[in-house]
Amino acid sequence: MDQTIETIGQRGFRVQAPLVDSVSCYCKVDSSLKTVAGASKFVPGSKLCIQPDINPRAHRSKSYRRERTRIPPPLLPGLPDDLAIACLIRVPRVEHNKLRLVCKRWYRLLAGNFFYSLRKNLGMAEEWVYVIKRDRDGQISWHAFDPTYQLWQPLPPVPVEYSEALGFGCAVLSGFHLYLFGGKDPIKGSMRCVIFYSARTNKWHRAPDMLCKRHFVGSCVINNCLYVAGGECEGFQRTLRAVEVYDQNKNRWSFITDMSTAMVPFIGLVYNGKWFLKGLGSHQEVLSEAYTPESNTWNPIDDGMVAGWRNPSISMNGKLYALDCRDGCKVRVYDEASNSWNKFIDSKLHLGSSRALEAAALVPISGKLCIIRNNMSISIVDVSSPDKHVESNPHLWENIAGKGHFRTLFTNLWSSITGRNGLKSHIVHCQVLQA
Protein backbone atom coordinates (compact mmCIF):
# COMPACT_ATOMS: atom_id res chain seq x y z
CA MET A 1 0.00 0.00 0.00
CA ASP A 2 2.83 2.39 0.93
CA GLN A 3 4.66 1.58 -2.29
CA THR A 4 1.52 2.18 -4.33
CA ILE A 5 0.97 5.59 -2.78
CA GLU A 6 4.62 6.51 -3.28
CA THR A 7 4.48 5.46 -6.95
CA ILE A 8 1.32 7.45 -7.56
CA GLY A 9 2.94 10.45 -5.91
CA GLN A 10 5.96 10.19 -8.23
CA ARG A 11 3.71 10.11 -11.30
CA GLY A 12 2.18 13.42 -10.25
CA PHE A 13 -1.25 12.17 -9.38
CA ARG A 14 -3.05 13.76 -6.47
CA VAL A 15 -3.34 11.61 -3.36
CA GLN A 16 -6.86 11.91 -1.97
CA ALA A 17 -7.35 11.44 1.75
CA PRO A 18 -9.88 8.82 2.78
CA LEU A 19 -13.33 10.10 3.66
CA VAL A 20 -13.73 10.33 7.42
CA ASP A 21 -16.90 11.71 8.97
CA SER A 22 -17.37 13.54 12.26
CA VAL A 23 -18.16 10.38 14.22
CA SER A 24 -14.88 8.68 13.26
CA CYS A 25 -11.61 8.80 15.15
CA TYR A 26 -8.87 10.54 13.16
CA CYS A 27 -6.19 8.88 15.29
CA LYS A 28 -7.15 5.39 14.05
CA VAL A 29 -6.95 5.92 10.29
CA ASP A 30 -4.16 3.36 9.95
CA SER A 31 -3.20 0.83 12.58
CA SER A 32 0.48 1.23 11.75
CA LEU A 33 0.39 4.94 12.61
CA LYS A 34 0.80 5.37 16.36
CA THR A 35 0.72 9.16 16.52
CA VAL A 36 -1.43 11.97 15.24
CA ALA A 37 1.60 13.33 13.43
CA GLY A 38 1.72 10.16 11.38
CA ALA A 39 -1.99 10.14 10.81
CA SER A 40 -1.86 13.66 9.37
CA LYS A 41 -0.01 12.18 6.42
CA PHE A 42 -3.34 10.73 5.31
CA VAL A 43 -5.79 13.02 7.08
CA PRO A 44 -4.73 16.68 6.73
CA GLY A 45 -5.36 18.73 9.82
CA SER A 46 -6.14 15.75 12.05
CA LYS A 47 -6.44 16.51 15.75
CA LEU A 48 -6.19 14.66 19.00
CA CYS A 49 -8.80 11.98 19.47
CA ILE A 50 -11.91 13.24 21.25
CA GLN A 51 -13.73 9.91 21.05
CA PRO A 52 -11.38 7.31 22.60
CA ASP A 53 -14.16 4.79 23.01
CA ILE A 54 -14.44 4.19 19.25
CA ASN A 55 -13.31 0.73 18.16
CA PRO A 56 -9.76 1.16 16.74
CA ARG A 57 -10.30 -1.72 14.29
CA ALA A 58 -13.63 -0.47 12.99
CA HIS A 59 -11.98 0.93 9.83
CA ARG A 60 -10.86 -2.53 8.78
CA SER A 61 -14.41 -3.69 8.20
CA LYS A 62 -15.17 -3.97 4.47
CA SER A 63 -18.77 -2.84 4.95
CA TYR A 64 -17.55 0.11 7.00
CA ARG A 65 -15.05 1.05 4.25
CA ARG A 66 -17.75 0.93 1.59
CA GLU A 67 -20.04 3.06 3.75
CA ARG A 68 -17.36 5.75 4.26
CA THR A 69 -16.51 5.99 0.55
CA ARG A 70 -20.15 6.36 -0.43
CA ILE A 71 -20.98 9.92 -1.49
CA PRO A 72 -24.01 11.23 0.43
CA PRO A 73 -27.00 12.17 -1.71
CA PRO A 74 -27.68 15.88 -2.22
CA LEU A 75 -30.17 17.64 0.02
CA LEU A 76 -32.14 18.58 -3.09
CA PRO A 77 -31.50 16.70 -6.36
CA GLY A 78 -29.83 18.89 -8.97
CA LEU A 79 -28.70 21.58 -6.53
CA PRO A 80 -25.51 22.08 -4.51
CA ASP A 81 -26.08 21.76 -0.76
CA ASP A 82 -25.53 25.48 -0.11
CA LEU A 83 -28.33 26.39 -2.50
CA ALA A 84 -30.52 23.64 -1.08
CA ILE A 85 -30.05 25.05 2.43
CA ALA A 86 -30.88 28.52 1.12
CA CYS A 87 -34.20 27.07 -0.06
CA LEU A 88 -34.95 25.04 3.07
CA ILE A 89 -34.40 27.91 5.52
CA ARG A 90 -37.25 29.76 3.78
CA VAL A 91 -39.77 27.03 4.56
CA PRO A 92 -42.24 28.31 7.22
CA ARG A 93 -41.61 27.03 10.71
CA VAL A 94 -45.02 25.37 10.85
CA GLU A 95 -43.75 22.83 8.27
CA HIS A 96 -40.45 21.97 9.96
CA ASN A 97 -41.74 18.80 11.64
CA LYS A 98 -42.62 17.50 8.18
CA LEU A 99 -39.17 18.41 6.84
CA ARG A 100 -37.55 16.24 9.53
CA LEU A 101 -39.44 13.21 8.20
CA VAL A 102 -38.18 13.48 4.59
CA CYS A 103 -34.79 11.82 5.07
CA LYS A 104 -31.91 11.44 7.53
CA ARG A 105 -29.93 14.33 6.02
CA TRP A 106 -32.85 16.73 6.43
CA TYR A 107 -33.43 15.48 9.96
CA ARG A 108 -29.79 16.06 10.89
CA LEU A 109 -29.81 19.49 9.27
CA LEU A 110 -32.84 20.63 11.28
CA ALA A 111 -31.56 19.00 14.46
CA GLY A 112 -28.46 21.20 14.61
CA ASN A 113 -27.91 24.84 15.49
CA PHE A 114 -26.52 25.78 12.05
CA PHE A 115 -29.90 25.71 10.30
CA TYR A 116 -31.71 27.90 12.85
CA SER A 117 -28.75 30.21 13.42
CA LEU A 118 -28.78 30.90 9.69
CA ARG A 119 -32.52 31.64 9.81
CA LYS A 120 -31.95 34.05 12.66
CA ASN A 121 -29.01 35.82 11.02
CA LEU A 122 -31.02 36.32 7.83
CA GLY A 123 -34.07 37.63 9.69
CA MET A 124 -36.22 34.59 8.90
CA ALA A 125 -36.70 33.26 12.44
CA GLU A 126 -40.34 33.12 13.55
CA GLU A 127 -41.72 33.79 17.03
CA TRP A 128 -44.32 31.51 18.58
CA VAL A 129 -46.25 31.99 21.81
CA TYR A 130 -45.90 29.11 24.29
CA VAL A 131 -48.66 28.81 26.88
CA ILE A 132 -48.36 26.59 29.98
CA LYS A 133 -51.72 25.78 31.58
CA ARG A 134 -53.02 23.98 34.63
CA ASP A 135 -56.10 21.97 33.79
CA ARG A 136 -59.09 21.41 36.06
CA ASP A 137 -57.60 18.10 37.31
CA GLY A 138 -54.33 19.84 38.28
CA GLN A 139 -52.31 18.50 35.35
CA ILE A 140 -49.88 20.76 33.50
CA SER A 141 -50.27 20.99 29.72
CA TRP A 142 -48.85 23.39 27.20
CA HIS A 143 -49.49 24.68 23.71
CA ALA A 144 -47.69 26.71 21.01
CA PHE A 145 -49.43 29.39 18.95
CA ASP A 146 -48.20 30.43 15.52
CA PRO A 147 -49.35 34.07 15.10
CA THR A 148 -48.53 34.12 11.38
CA TYR A 149 -50.93 31.32 10.44
CA GLN A 150 -52.97 31.63 13.67
CA LEU A 151 -52.63 27.92 14.39
CA TRP A 152 -52.02 25.99 17.62
CA GLN A 153 -49.20 23.48 17.32
CA PRO A 154 -48.70 20.15 19.18
CA LEU A 155 -45.78 19.87 21.60
CA PRO A 156 -44.05 17.01 23.43
CA PRO A 157 -45.51 16.37 26.91
CA VAL A 158 -44.09 18.22 29.89
CA PRO A 159 -41.65 15.94 31.80
CA VAL A 160 -43.12 14.06 34.74
CA GLU A 161 -41.33 16.25 37.30
CA TYR A 162 -43.56 19.16 36.30
CA SER A 163 -46.74 17.36 35.29
CA GLU A 164 -48.39 18.32 38.60
CA ALA A 165 -45.93 20.81 40.12
CA LEU A 166 -47.01 24.06 41.78
CA GLY A 167 -45.28 27.44 41.84
CA PHE A 168 -42.44 26.66 39.44
CA GLY A 169 -40.58 29.40 37.58
CA CYS A 170 -40.33 29.88 33.83
CA ALA A 171 -37.87 31.88 31.70
CA VAL A 172 -36.26 31.96 28.24
CA LEU A 173 -32.52 31.93 27.51
CA SER A 174 -30.87 32.46 24.12
CA GLY A 175 -34.28 33.13 22.61
CA PHE A 176 -35.11 29.46 22.03
CA HIS A 177 -34.55 27.63 25.34
CA LEU A 178 -37.51 27.59 27.74
CA TYR A 179 -36.49 26.77 31.32
CA LEU A 180 -38.70 25.40 34.11
CA PHE A 181 -37.16 25.52 37.57
CA GLY A 182 -38.03 24.98 41.21
CA GLY A 183 -41.63 24.39 42.15
CA LYS A 184 -43.40 22.17 44.62
CA ASP A 185 -44.14 18.53 43.99
CA PRO A 186 -47.44 17.38 45.62
CA ILE A 187 -45.57 14.50 47.32
CA LYS A 188 -41.87 15.43 47.53
CA GLY A 189 -42.34 19.13 48.37
CA SER A 190 -40.05 21.94 47.18
CA MET A 191 -37.65 21.08 44.34
CA ARG A 192 -34.27 22.17 43.00
CA CYS A 193 -34.98 20.57 39.62
CA VAL A 194 -34.25 22.47 36.37
CA ILE A 195 -35.24 21.36 32.87
CA PHE A 196 -35.39 23.17 29.54
CA TYR A 197 -37.10 22.79 26.17
CA SER A 198 -35.39 23.66 22.89
CA ALA A 199 -37.61 25.18 20.22
CA ARG A 200 -35.00 24.15 17.65
CA THR A 201 -35.01 20.43 18.44
CA ASN A 202 -38.55 20.25 19.89
CA LYS A 203 -37.18 18.22 22.82
CA TRP A 204 -36.79 18.52 26.60
CA HIS A 205 -33.37 18.43 28.28
CA ARG A 206 -32.06 18.49 31.86
CA ALA A 207 -29.95 21.31 33.34
CA PRO A 208 -28.00 21.51 36.64
CA ASP A 209 -30.19 21.72 39.75
CA MET A 210 -30.55 25.00 41.61
CA LEU A 211 -28.63 25.50 44.85
CA CYS A 212 -31.82 25.98 46.92
CA LYS A 213 -35.13 24.17 46.99
CA ARG A 214 -37.86 26.76 46.42
CA HIS A 215 -41.27 27.44 44.90
CA PHE A 216 -43.28 30.59 44.07
CA VAL A 217 -40.05 32.31 43.04
CA GLY A 218 -39.26 35.54 41.24
CA SER A 219 -37.11 35.30 38.13
CA CYS A 220 -35.70 37.34 35.26
CA VAL A 221 -33.08 37.16 32.51
CA ILE A 222 -30.27 39.74 32.30
CA ASN A 223 -27.39 39.36 29.80
CA ASN A 224 -28.66 35.85 29.03
CA CYS A 225 -28.22 34.80 32.67
CA LEU A 226 -31.16 33.46 34.68
CA TYR A 227 -31.74 35.09 38.09
CA VAL A 228 -33.96 33.42 40.72
CA ALA A 229 -34.91 35.16 43.97
CA GLY A 230 -37.00 34.57 47.08
CA GLY A 231 -39.89 32.17 47.18
CA GLU A 232 -40.86 29.59 49.78
CA CYS A 233 -39.45 26.33 51.07
CA GLU A 234 -40.51 23.89 53.76
CA GLY A 235 -38.80 24.37 57.09
CA PHE A 236 -38.30 26.95 59.82
CA GLN A 237 -37.31 29.77 57.43
CA ARG A 238 -40.25 29.35 55.08
CA THR A 239 -39.87 32.64 53.19
CA LEU A 240 -36.47 33.01 51.49
CA ARG A 241 -34.06 35.88 50.89
CA ALA A 242 -31.53 33.86 48.90
CA VAL A 243 -30.80 34.79 45.27
CA GLU A 244 -28.92 32.69 42.74
CA VAL A 245 -27.97 33.04 39.08
CA TYR A 246 -27.49 30.49 36.31
CA ASP A 247 -24.86 31.15 33.64
CA GLN A 248 -25.73 29.12 30.55
CA ASN A 249 -22.21 29.41 29.13
CA LYS A 250 -20.65 27.97 32.31
CA ASN A 251 -23.63 25.66 32.90
CA ARG A 252 -23.66 26.29 36.66
CA TRP A 253 -25.49 28.11 39.44
CA SER A 254 -23.95 30.52 41.93
CA PHE A 255 -25.24 32.63 44.81
CA ILE A 256 -25.31 36.44 44.68
CA THR A 257 -26.29 39.07 47.26
CA ASP A 258 -29.45 38.22 49.23
CA MET A 259 -32.50 40.47 49.10
CA SER A 260 -32.92 42.98 51.91
CA THR A 261 -35.95 41.09 53.21
CA ALA A 262 -37.47 37.68 52.61
CA MET A 263 -40.16 37.80 49.95
CA VAL A 264 -42.54 35.68 47.88
CA PRO A 265 -42.64 37.69 44.62
CA PHE A 266 -45.86 37.93 42.63
CA ILE A 267 -44.69 40.39 39.95
CA GLY A 268 -41.35 41.37 38.46
CA LEU A 269 -39.64 42.78 35.37
CA VAL A 270 -36.40 44.32 34.11
CA TYR A 271 -36.49 48.07 33.41
CA ASN A 272 -33.61 50.50 32.82
CA GLY A 273 -31.10 47.77 33.57
CA LYS A 274 -32.59 46.97 36.98
CA TRP A 275 -34.67 44.05 38.18
CA PHE A 276 -37.81 45.19 40.00
CA LEU A 277 -39.68 42.78 42.29
CA LYS A 278 -42.91 43.18 44.21
CA GLY A 279 -44.24 40.55 46.60
CA LEU A 280 -45.35 39.51 50.07
CA GLY A 281 -43.09 39.40 53.10
CA SER A 282 -43.09 36.82 55.87
CA HIS A 283 -45.93 38.74 57.63
CA GLN A 284 -47.98 39.17 54.44
CA GLU A 285 -46.88 42.79 54.01
CA VAL A 286 -46.31 44.13 50.49
CA LEU A 287 -42.62 44.68 49.71
CA SER A 288 -40.77 46.10 46.71
CA GLU A 289 -37.07 45.86 45.87
CA ALA A 290 -34.78 46.58 42.93
CA TYR A 291 -31.59 44.72 42.04
CA THR A 292 -28.67 46.43 40.24
CA PRO A 293 -26.44 43.84 38.48
CA GLU A 294 -23.42 46.14 38.12
CA SER A 295 -23.09 46.68 41.87
CA ASN A 296 -24.74 43.39 42.92
CA THR A 297 -26.96 45.27 45.40
CA TRP A 298 -30.62 45.30 46.45
CA ASN A 299 -32.49 48.46 47.44
CA PRO A 300 -36.05 48.88 48.74
CA ILE A 301 -38.16 51.14 46.53
CA ASP A 302 -41.44 52.97 46.98
CA ASP A 303 -42.39 55.28 44.13
CA GLY A 304 -45.15 55.91 41.65
CA MET A 305 -44.03 53.10 39.37
CA VAL A 306 -44.32 50.44 42.06
CA ALA A 307 -47.44 51.93 43.64
CA GLY A 308 -49.45 51.74 40.40
CA TRP A 309 -47.80 48.56 39.14
CA ARG A 310 -50.20 45.77 38.26
CA ASN A 311 -49.93 42.34 36.73
CA PRO A 312 -49.72 41.39 33.88
CA SER A 313 -47.08 43.90 32.84
CA ILE A 314 -44.12 44.05 30.49
CA SER A 315 -41.05 46.08 29.60
CA MET A 316 -40.67 46.55 25.84
CA ASN A 317 -38.57 48.97 23.81
CA GLY A 318 -37.67 50.96 26.92
CA LYS A 319 -41.28 51.43 28.09
CA LEU A 320 -43.44 49.81 30.76
CA TYR A 321 -46.91 48.57 29.87
CA ALA A 322 -49.58 47.06 32.13
CA LEU A 323 -53.17 45.92 31.74
CA ASP A 324 -55.77 48.09 33.43
CA CYS A 325 -58.81 45.80 33.60
CA ARG A 326 -59.52 42.18 34.25
CA ASP A 327 -60.11 41.15 30.64
CA GLY A 328 -57.05 43.09 29.47
CA CYS A 329 -58.92 45.39 27.12
CA LYS A 330 -57.25 48.54 28.48
CA VAL A 331 -53.51 49.16 28.40
CA ARG A 332 -51.59 51.64 30.56
CA VAL A 333 -48.08 53.01 30.12
CA TYR A 334 -45.65 54.33 32.74
CA ASP A 335 -44.63 57.98 32.35
CA GLU A 336 -41.22 58.43 33.93
CA ALA A 337 -41.46 62.23 33.87
CA SER A 338 -44.59 62.34 36.03
CA ASN A 339 -43.75 59.08 37.86
CA SER A 340 -47.24 57.76 37.21
CA TRP A 341 -49.22 55.32 35.05
CA ASN A 342 -51.37 56.84 32.30
CA LYS A 343 -54.11 55.55 30.04
CA PHE A 344 -52.66 54.36 26.75
CA ILE A 345 -55.10 52.34 24.59
CA ASP A 346 -58.71 51.18 25.05
CA SER A 347 -59.94 48.43 22.74
CA LYS A 348 -63.58 49.62 23.08
CA LEU A 349 -64.54 45.91 23.05
CA HIS A 350 -64.79 44.64 26.62
CA LEU A 351 -65.32 40.94 27.07
CA GLY A 352 -66.56 40.72 30.66
CA SER A 353 -65.17 39.95 34.09
CA SER A 354 -65.44 36.16 34.20
CA ARG A 355 -62.34 34.28 35.33
CA ALA A 356 -62.15 32.43 32.02
CA LEU A 357 -61.70 35.76 30.22
CA GLU A 358 -59.18 37.11 32.71
CA ALA A 359 -55.94 38.31 31.09
CA ALA A 360 -53.18 36.01 32.34
CA ALA A 361 -50.10 37.10 30.40
CA LEU A 362 -48.59 39.95 28.43
CA VAL A 363 -45.68 39.15 26.09
CA PRO A 364 -43.87 40.93 23.23
CA ILE A 365 -44.10 39.46 19.75
CA SER A 366 -42.78 41.07 16.57
CA GLY A 367 -42.68 44.47 18.27
CA LYS A 368 -46.31 44.27 19.40
CA LEU A 369 -48.03 43.49 22.69
CA CYS A 370 -49.68 40.09 22.86
CA ILE A 371 -52.41 39.61 25.49
CA ILE A 372 -53.31 36.00 26.36
CA ARG A 373 -56.41 35.13 28.39
CA ASN A 374 -57.33 32.02 30.34
CA ASN A 375 -59.71 30.87 27.60
CA MET A 376 -56.72 31.00 25.17
CA SER A 377 -58.12 34.00 23.29
CA ILE A 378 -55.48 36.45 22.15
CA SER A 379 -55.29 40.16 21.39
CA ILE A 380 -52.39 41.77 19.52
CA VAL A 381 -51.82 45.50 20.09
CA ASP A 382 -49.61 47.72 17.93
CA VAL A 383 -48.15 50.15 20.46
CA SER A 384 -45.86 51.77 17.87
CA SER A 385 -48.73 53.37 15.96
CA PRO A 386 -48.93 57.16 16.48
CA ASP A 387 -52.73 56.96 16.17
CA LYS A 388 -54.01 55.53 19.46
CA HIS A 389 -57.68 55.71 18.50
CA VAL A 390 -59.13 52.31 17.69
CA GLU A 391 -62.03 53.84 15.74
CA SER A 392 -59.73 55.41 13.14
CA ASN A 393 -57.10 52.65 13.23
CA PRO A 394 -58.76 49.20 13.11
CA HIS A 395 -55.41 47.38 12.88
CA LEU A 396 -54.26 48.88 16.17
CA TRP A 397 -56.05 46.23 18.24
CA GLU A 398 -56.68 42.78 16.73
CA ASN A 399 -58.64 40.12 18.59
CA ILE A 400 -57.86 36.52 17.68
CA ALA A 401 -60.02 33.60 18.74
CA GLY A 402 -57.56 30.85 19.58
CA LYS A 403 -58.58 27.59 21.24
CA GLY A 404 -61.20 29.51 23.17
CA HIS A 405 -63.68 31.96 21.66
CA PHE A 406 -64.91 35.34 22.73
CA ARG A 407 -68.26 35.08 24.43
CA THR A 408 -71.05 37.54 23.97
CA LEU A 409 -72.00 40.06 26.63
CA PHE A 410 -75.22 38.17 27.30
CA THR A 411 -73.34 34.89 27.86
CA ASN A 412 -70.95 36.56 30.28
CA LEU A 413 -73.81 38.18 32.18
CA TRP A 414 -75.75 34.92 32.40
CA SER A 415 -72.67 33.07 33.70
CA SER A 416 -72.24 35.66 36.45
CA ILE A 417 -75.90 35.49 37.48
CA THR A 418 -76.02 31.69 37.61
CA GLY A 419 -72.63 31.40 39.27
CA ARG A 420 -71.18 29.31 36.45
CA ASN A 421 -68.04 31.35 35.96
CA GLY A 422 -65.80 28.84 37.71
CA LEU A 423 -62.38 28.46 36.16
CA LYS A 424 -61.94 25.12 34.38
CA SER A 425 -58.26 25.78 33.65
CA HIS A 426 -55.91 28.70 33.88
CA ILE A 427 -52.62 29.87 32.40
CA VAL A 428 -49.57 29.49 34.63
CA HIS A 429 -46.83 30.87 32.37
CA CYS A 430 -46.50 32.32 28.90
CA GLN A 431 -43.31 32.90 26.91
CA VAL A 432 -42.15 33.61 23.36
CA LEU A 433 -39.59 31.35 21.64
CA GLN A 434 -37.84 31.94 18.34
CA ALA A 435 -36.73 29.37 15.74
Residue at 290 is within a domain: yes
Residue at 306 is within a domain: no
Residue at 308 is within a domain: no
Q: Are residues 25 and 43 in the same domain?
A: yes
- Tell me, what's the pLDDT at 199? 96
Q: Are residues 213 and 279 in the same domain?
A: yes
Q: Are residues 144 and 186 in the same domain?
A: no
Residue at 93 is within a domain: yes
Q: Are residues 111 and 179 in the same domain?
A: no
Q: Are residues 36 and 63 in the same domain?
A: yes
Q: Are residues 235 and 209 in the same domain?
A: yes
Instruction: Spell out the SS3 assignment of 78-111.
Output: CCCHHHHHHHHCCCCHHHHHHHCCCCHHHHHHHH
Strand partners, 320: 315
* Helix %, strand %, coil % of the chain (to 5): 20, 35, 50
Q: Are 371 and 379 in contact (CB under 8 A)?
A: yes
Range(s) of the domain holding residue 36 = 17-69
> What's the number of domains the chain is made of?
4
Q: Are residues 48 and 147 in the same domain?
A: no
Q: At what angle do helices 104-111 and 113-121 cross, to 10 degrees?
A: 60
- Tell me, what's the pLDDT at 54? 40
163-206: pLDDT as tens digits: 999 999 999 999 999 999 999 999 999 999 999 999 999 999 99
- Tell me, what's the pLDDT at 67? 54
Q: How far apart are CA 191 and CA 167, in angstroms?
A: 10
CATH number at residue 182: 2.120.10.80
Q: Are residues 181 and 293 in the same domain?
A: yes
- Tell me, what's the pLDDT at 68? 55
Q: Are residues 160 and 297 in the same domain?
A: yes
- Tell me, what's the pLDDT at 401? 62
- Tell me, what's the pLDDT at 40? 38
* pLDDT beneath 70: ranges in the chain: 1-69, 236, 401-423
Residue at 6 is within a domain: no
Q: Are residues 400 and 272 in the same domain?
A: no
Residue at 75 is within a domain: no
DSSP 125-153: --EEEEEEEE-TTS-EEEEEEETTTTEEE
